[in-house]
Amino acid sequence: MNADEARATVLAVLATIAPEANLSELELDVEFRDQLDIDSMDFLNFIIGVHERTGIDIPEEDYPALETLAGCINYLVAARPAG
């Protein structure tokens, strides 16, 4: 997965979690939590959404790496789908 695909995937999932947000203004390095109205349930659903779209098995320990848009892109580009 390249960076553009990763970004598109992340934004598509976020759009389902926070449908009211204007994602085009999302900042790369600020935590989602501080930019969107997201709680732990939303974040879990975000992880599930990314997992479902990419097949990447994301362990809980890696969650902190996925708290910003830049972090997500780096993570997804580096990751390989499970199995």
Part of the chain binding another protein (CB under 8 A), chosen from 2-10, 39-47, 70-78 = 39-47
Q: Cα–Cα distances in Å, from 42 out to 3, 31, 50, 56, 80?
A: 23, 13, 12, 18, 24
State in angstroms the smallest separation of the CB of 32 from another protein: 10
Q: Which of 48, 78, 80, 81 binds another protein (CB under 8 A)?
A: 48
Find out whether 58 and 47 touch, Cβ atoms under 8 Å.
yes
Residue type, 69: L
Which residues lie near another protein (CB under 8 A)?
A: 18-22, 25, 33-37, 39-41, 44-45, 47-48, 51-52, 57-60
